Amino acid sequence: MGIIFIALLSIRISIKSYFFSYLCAVKFSDLNLSNMQLKALDEAGLETPTVIQERAFPVIMSGKDVIGIAQTGTGKTLAYLLPVIRMWKFRKDPLPQILILVPTRELVEQVVSEINRITTYQNVVAVGVYGGVNMKRHQAAVEEGLDIVVGTPGRVFDLLLVGSLRPKAIRHLIIDEVDELLALGFRPQLTRIIDVLPPKRQNLLFSATMTEDVEEVIKDSFDFPVTIEAAPTGTPLENIQQWIYPALNYRTKLNLLAHLLQDEEAFHRALVFAPSKRLADMAYEQLEPIFGEKVGVIHANKSQNYRFERLRQFDSGEHRILIATDLISRGMDISDVSHVINLDMPETAEDYIHRIGRTGRADKSGISITMVREEEEAYLKAAEELMQKTVERLAFPEEVEINEELIPEEMPILRVPNVRVKLATKKAGAFHEKKKKNTKSVLTRRQLEEKRGRIKSNRRKKRKKKR
């Protein structure tokens, strides 16, 4: 009887706590958003802010510098867009008020698309700029007038140099995915861009991880920033189930990949990460005969239009499988990715977290599968230490063929021993010493006359012999 009473009491408490949390859940309507923003969010089907969006909004609205740390897929883009657009005011001059720096072209397009989605009922003009495109097109777009510039640091700096982009009206600087931006070598351009911006501005920095390089940027450019963490740095999303398969080599991994992807119902939208452009093409060449047009591949060697088209086809469902490199591990926002499959274990734990963050987004569940060689176990251990979590190991399927042939990247490195050779310590000149007969000697007058006499005598004898 007592057990039943305790059970009923616990159920009652859980029900109460559920309704209390439901009633107390913050909605976008509870934030200080304009009616036009709320209408656009409602049409987009967004009602409840994520943790990072809820925590960042009031702090950004206060005008303070902010550092936002949140996992990939938690809505960092809206976390900074909503408050800065709320503070945006219409100006007669065509100068931009907001500058957003991101590491990749794909992320530029994603942010511009998000701005357009939430400003449907506002007269906000956003322009995306990035490399690989004729700069005159971007110059014309910027000079025509705009409110928000979204771009990669290289192209933004180029527009500043030619005078097309005038920064004097910028009030908000936002640096998104700053750790990846620095890893791509944009530190010099970032520093120069910050130097020419107005000193009276708000700085916002968002990232999934905090590295030493990021801390240096904060120290150099931010004034008493407020740090907002949706979760400790390096924490993966809780709704991502992680699995590990041991694999002998890359060719065996491709056999396992083809075997897993046969289940179309489970793997209805799979994103496959390859360690390099060559190996991504190699994976595509093995899968394309099996799955045909259902598989696509993108990496840096593909043209921009090709990459955008492959992403569109993957997002629309035309491609069930998309093979990619780390180029898009942060620059892509595609919903309903059922599986992330890693054909290698990234060397840095942060890259692993960014990869698996492509699934399990927007409170949906997802699965990540990583194929690990024995040589990659150390990288896996480092990732587990950062996440403070042990990833579940699965047994290698018996029906999958094991290919013992190694690719060039897996070949053992032949190291030649460094043999030390003892060098001669005697300093030698550039020329050898002359023979004794060739050396000059100081003669007296008498010795010189005798020498000349001998020479003349020898010449006479030679003439007589010739006669």
**68 and 94, same structural domain?**
yes
Instruction: From residue 74, give the alpha-carbon distance in Å to each of 53, 394, 451.
Output: 9, 28, 104
**305 and 338, same structural domain?**
yes
- Chunked into runs of 10 residues, the chain (467 residues) has average pLDDT values of 41 37 68 94 91 93 92 84 94 91 90 94 94 92 95 96 94 91 88 93 87 85 87 66 95 96 94 94 95 92 86 90 79 79 91 85 85 95 90 94 91 74 61 65 77 84 76
Residue (of 347, 343, 305) closest to 325 by Cα position: 343
**250 and 117, same structural domain?**
no
Look at residue 393 in the predicted model and tell me its pLDDT.
95
Look at residue 420 in the predicted model and tell me its pLDDT.
73
Residue 162 sits in which domain range? Answer: 31-229
- The residue out of 380, 404, 428 marking a domain boundary is 404
**167 and 136, same structural domain?**
yes
Distance from C-alpha of 133 to C-alpha of 82, rounded to nearest angstrom: 29
Distance of CA 164 to the CA centre of its chain: 28
b or e along 296-320 (b: 16 or more beta carbons within 10 Å of the residue's beta carbon)? Answer: bbbbeebeeeebeebbebbbeeebb
Instruction: From residue 68, give the alpha-carbon distance in Å to each of 225, 334, 350.
Output: 10, 22, 16
Contact 68, 52 (CB under 8 A): yes
Residue 195: how many other CB atoms lie within 10 Å: 8
- The residue out of 229, 264, 282 marking a domain boundary is 229
| Assigned domain for 164 exists | yes
Look at residue 19 in the predicted model and tell me its pLDDT.
36
Dihedral of the CA atoms 25, 26, 28, 32 (nearest 10)?
160
Look at residue 4 in the predicted model and tell me its pLDDT.
44
Look at residue 428 in the predicted model and tell me its pLDDT.
55
Look at residue 252 in the predicted model and tell me its pLDDT.
96
Distance of CA 52 to the CA centre of its chain: 21
| Assigned domain for 211 exists | yes
Two tokens at 203? 């700085």
**254 and 218, same structural domain?**
no
Q: Going by C-beta distance under 8 Å and a sequence separation of 6 or more, which residues neighbour residue 197?
A: 99, 167, 170, 173
What is the number of structural domains in the chain? 2
**160 and 301, same structural domain?**
no
Look at residue 440 in the predicted model and tell me its pLDDT.
67
**268 and 188, same structural domain?**
no
| Assigned domain for 454 exists | no
Contact 127, 149 (CB under 8 A): yes
| Assigned domain for 444 exists | no
The CATH number of residue 336's host domain is 3.40.50.300
Phi-psi region of 256 (alpha: psi -120 to 50; beta: other; left: phi over 0): alpha
